[in-house]
Amino acid sequence: MIIHDEQNRLFTLRTRNTVYQMKVDCYKVLLHTYYGSYIESGDLSRLIRCADYSFSPNPNEAGMDRTYSLDVMPQEYSTCGVGDFRLPSIELELPNGSRSADLRYLGYDLQKGKYTLPGLPAFYGTEEEAETLVIHMEDAAAGVAVELYFGVFEELDLITRAVKVVNKGNEPVRLCRCASLCLDFLRCDMDFITFNGHHLMERCLERGPLRSGIQSVGSIRGASSHQHNPFVMLCDRNTDEDTGLCYGAMLLYSGNFEAAVECSQYESSRLVMGIHPSHFCWTLAHGEAFTSPEAALVCSSEGFGQMSRQFHRSIIKHLLREPYAHKRKPVLINNWEATYFDFTTDKLVDIAKEAAKMGMELFVMDDGWFGSRNDDNSGLGDWWVNEEKLPGGLEKLVSRINDAGMVFGIWVEPEMVNENSNLYREHPDWVLRIPGRNPARGRGQLVLDFSRKEIRDYIYGQLQAVFSSVPIAYIKWDMNRSLTDVWSAALPAQRQGEVYHRYVLGVYDLLERIRRDYPQILIEGCCGGGGRFDGGMLYYTPQIWCSDDSDAIDRLRIQYGTSFCYPPCTMGAHVSAVPNEQNGRITPLKTRGIVAMSGAFGYEMDLGKCTEEEKDEIRRQVECYKEHYELICRGDYYRLSNPFGEDLFTAWEHVAEDKREALVSAVAGSRRPASPFVRLRLKGLSPSLEYCINGEEEVYSGSTLMHAGYLLPAIKEDYQSIQLYLKAK
C-alpha cells in the first residue's frame, strides 16, 4: 500500500510486515526517513537531527543556517558535487565540464500494478498484486529530470527500485554514474554480508561488521561474476536464521555492478547499488533517456530465513517466466561428462535409452555438435550441425531420442566465437577489440560485440534455423569467459563507455527474442557454471547451472549461499560420477542424489558404466524427485545448519505451504572418532499437527520436532546422508 500525506509531503510504502518512508523537506530535498519493521503511521523525520557540523557545507538556499547540510541528511537518492561527500547515486558531466547533480522534488504519480522497464528484466505484477510510485526530481541548472520508480508488493514485503534519467537541456549530458538503489540508515552498528568466491566455488557467505569508510563488492568482468554476486545483506549484529533484523538487496543485472556501503563520520551508513561506474559513461542528447536496472529489497525482523523465503516467493511468482510454471520440469541427462567432445549419434542414443529406463525424460546434447567443434579452440560461431559427427543431422538424432521416450535439449554459446571458425574468418571486425591491440583470449575464444544489432540478428538467424528444425524442449545457454578489449566499432570514441551496458542489453534482447518465438523451450543459463547467477538472467533463463563444481560436498556450500536469495528451483544441480572430476572426491550415490535433488534435478554421467545396484538407486532418486517435486520446488525452504560451521550434518528442509508435508535432507561430513549423536530441530511445521516420518507408525507433534528435535542415526561412513519425509496425519 502506498500512502501520500499531501500536507506533510510524506510518502509511506506499507507491506504486510514493513514500512518504507520518505519526506520532501523545506528545500525540496527528498529525505529517507525509515525502512524497517512495521510501525503505525507517523512522520519519522523527527528522528533526523540538524546541527552545525564542521566542514559540512550548506546549500545556498539555506542562507546562513549552518545546521542544514546534505552531507549528513539521509537522502532517497544521493547527489554529488553540491555538498554531500558520501557515496553518490548519480554523477553528471555537464556541457561545461563540471561534474555535479543537485536533485529537487517536483511531483509524483501513483499507479496500480507494477511498472515495466523496456529492454530490462523486472519483477511483474497485476493491479491486484502491486502498486507503483513514481517520484519526479529535477536538476534545474543541468536541465536533467530524474524519475524514481518504486514497486510495492504488499503481501511479499518486496519493494523494487529503478531510476530513469532524461536530458531536457539543449546540449548533451554525460551520465557517469546511475545507481538503482540508495538506502540511508541513521546507524552503522550493522554487519555487511556478501556472497563471494571463484569459479568452482561461488556464492560463499562472508560476514563482517561495518567499519568507517567504504566497503564494496562488484564486478568489472562484463558479467555479474563467479567472484561476487549482486545480492548483499545488512543486518543487526545478533541476527541469525530465525531472529533479528536484516535487509536483503538484489540487483537484477547481469553485467558490471557495484554494491557499496559507507559508514560515515557521524555513524550513519549508506548502501548504494547499481551498474559499476568503472568503464561506464552514457551520453544523453536532448530528449534522450537512460533507465537503470531494477533493484529489489526485502526487510525481515525474523532473521535471514524469513527474508530468503520472501525473496523465493517473489522470484517464483513474479520474476520467473517459464513453460513449466504450472507443471513439473523433466528430469534430464546431460552427456558432457560422459563423452565430452567425442560422441556419435549411436553413443548419444545409447545414453538416452539407458536414461529412459531409469525414469529420466530430457536428453541434453552438450558442446561439440556444430561446425568444426572437436575441442575448445574451434567452431564457436558456426551454428550448424556437424554431419560428419552426426550423420543425418539433428533430424535423425532427435527422432531416435524421441523414439527412446525422451525429449531433446541442446547446448549453445552464442556470445562467443573462435578464430578457427567461418564466422571469424568472414567477420573479424565483429569481436570486441581495441584498435591497434591484439585481443586477449579466454578458453581459446573471443567475444562477439553483442551491442551491435546486426551481429545479434546474424546469430539469431543461425539459432533459429537449428531451433526450428526439430522439436527442442530445452536450451543450455553458456558463456565461458570474461569480457576484455571492450571497444565497439559501431560507436564513436566519446561513447565507448556505453559498450559494457549495451552488451548486456544485447544479451537480454536475443534471449527475449528466443522466448517470444519459442515459448515452449526451457532455457537454462550458464557462465562457466555460476558466473552469471543473478536476478537479471533468471527473468530470461528460469534456472541457471549453479556451478561447474558438481561434487556433492562442495555443492552443500554453494547451494547454501545461493539459497539466501535464489529459490532451489532455479539452481541447476546434477548427479555426476565419482571420483569427482573437479576435486577427486568419492561420495555415495545416495548423497549425490539428495544434494542434487534440492535443485533443478538431473544427471551428468555415463550411465552405461553404472552397476545394476547403482541403476536401482538412480531409479529411486528419480521417483523420489518426481513424487516430491512440488514440495521441493514450490515449498518453503529452511536452512537447518551451516555447512561453513562445525555442525556434523548439513541439513535443510522443504515445507509445504499448508504445513502438512515436509522433506528433510541431511548430509554428514567426514566421520570423526566417537562422533556424538545429532538432534536435528526442524522448522516451519505446524505445532499442533502430528507427523509420521517415512511412513512409520510412530507420530511426532510439530512442536516436538521443532523444539525437542529428531535424533539422526550415528555417522558410520564419510558423507553419509539421510532423507526424512514428514506427512501430517
Could you tell me if 291 and 336 lie in one domain? no
Q: β-strands 332-334, 362-365: how paired?
A: parallel
CA distance 406 to 360: 8
DSSP 8-state assignment for residue 688: T
- As a residue count, the chain comes to 729
Could you tell me if 461 and 498 lie in one domain? yes
CA distance 74 to 148: 16
Sequence-separated (6 or more) residues with CB below 8 Å from residue 480: 413, 416, 442, 443, 445, 527, 528
Residue pair 294/123 in contact by the 8 Å Cβ criterion: yes
The candidate with the shortest Cα–Cα distance to 389, out of 356, 340, 438, 352, is 340
Could you tell me if 314 and 343 lie in one domain? no
Question: What Rg do the C-alpha atoms of the chain give, in angstroms?
Answer: 27
Could you tell me if 352 and 439 lie in one domain? yes
pLDDT, tens digit (0-9, with 9 covering 90-100), for 498-535: 999 999 999 999 999 999 999 999 999 999 999 999 99
Domain that holds residue 358: 332-545
717 is catalytic: no
Domain membership flag for residue 25: no
Name the active-site residue from 25, 376, 614, 690. Answer: 614
Residue pair 84/75 in contact by the 8 Å Cβ criterion: yes
Could you tell me if 472 and 539 lie in one domain? yes
Helix axes 612-627, 589-596, angle to 10 degrees: 20
For position 133, what pLDDT does the model report?
A: 98
The candidate with the shortest Cα–Cα distance to 428, out of 718, 420, 184, is 420
Last residue of a domain, one of 318, 340, 362: 318
Last residue of a domain, one of 517, 545, 573: 545
Could you tell me if 403 and 499 lie in one domain? yes
pLDDT, tens digit (0-9, with 9 covering 90-100), for 356-380: 999 999 999 999 999 999 999 999 9
- Which amino acid, residue 22? M
The dihedral built from the CA positions of residue 218, 220, 225 and 227, taken in this order, carries a sign that is: negative
The candidate with the shortest Cα–Cα distance to 545, out of 556, 557, 559, 565, is 559
CA distance 143 to 625: 58
Q: Which three cell numbers stand for residue 371?
A: 561446425
Query: In this structure, how many other beta carbons lie within 10 angstroms of the beta carbon of residue 646?
Result: 7
Helix axes 552-562, 589-596, angle to 10 degrees: 20
CATH at residue 486? 3.20.20.70
CATH at residue 645? 2.60.40.1180
Domain membership flag for residue 153: yes
CA distance 673 to 410: 47
- Which amino acid, residue 712? L
Domain membership flag for residue 4: no
Residue pair 163/180 in contact by the 8 Å Cβ criterion: yes
Last residue of a domain, one of 268, 288, 318: 318
Domain membership flag for residue 228: yes
Residue ranges in the chain modelled with pLDDT below 50: none
Domain membership flag for residue 110: yes
Q: Which three cell numbers stand for residue 336?
A: 558432457
For position 584, what pLDDT does the model report?
A: 98
Could you tell me if 362 and 461 lie in one domain? yes
- Residues 494, 163, 124, CA angle at the centre, nearest 5°? 125
Residue pair 134/151 in contact by the 8 Å Cβ criterion: no
CATH at residue 220? 2.70.98.60
Could you tell me if 187 and 283 lie in one domain? yes
Residue pair 369/337 in contact by the 8 Å Cβ criterion: no
Domain membership flag for residue 695: yes
Could you tell me if 288 and 348 lie in one domain? no
Residue pair 576/550 in contact by the 8 Å Cβ criterion: yes
DSSP string across 86-126:
S--SEEEE-TTS-B-B--EEEEEEEEES----TTS------
Reported in sequence order, the residue ranges of 221-313 that DSSP labels E, i.e. its strands, are 231-236, 246-252, 257-263, 269-275, 282-284, 289-291, 294-300
Q: Please state whether the predicted TM-score (pTM) of the whole model is above 0.85.
A: yes
- Which amino acid, residue 114? K
Could you tell me if 178 and 203 lie in one domain? yes
Residue pair 569/543 in contact by the 8 Å Cβ criterion: yes
- Total number of domains constituting the chain: 3
Residue pair 431/448 in contact by the 8 Å Cβ criterion: yes
DSSP string across 563-598:
TTTS-GGGEEEEEE-SS-TTT-----HHHHHHHHTT
Give the HSE-up count for residue 114: Cα atoms under 13 Å, Cβ half-sphere. Answer: 25
For position 676, what pLDDT does the model report?
A: 85
Could you tell me if 217 and 346 lie in one domain? no
For position 672, what pLDDT does the model report?
A: 83
SS3 for 37? strand
Residue pair 385/337 in contact by the 8 Å Cβ criterion: no
Domain membership flag for residue 80: no
614 is catalytic: yes
Could you tell me if 531 and 680 lie in one domain? no
Burial state string for 618-631 with b = 16 or more CB within 10 A and e = fewer than 16: beebbebbeebbeb
Helical residues (DSSP H) of 185-233, grouped into ranges: none
Q: Which three cell numbers stand for residue 274?
A: 547499481
Element (H, E) at 207: strand 201-209
For position 488, what pLDDT does the model report?
A: 98
Domain membership flag for residue 565: no
Name the active-site residue from 534, 604, 617, 636. Answer: 534
Residue pair 607/337 in contact by the 8 Å Cβ criterion: no
The candidate with the shortest Cα–Cα distance to 664, out of 602, 712, 617, is 712
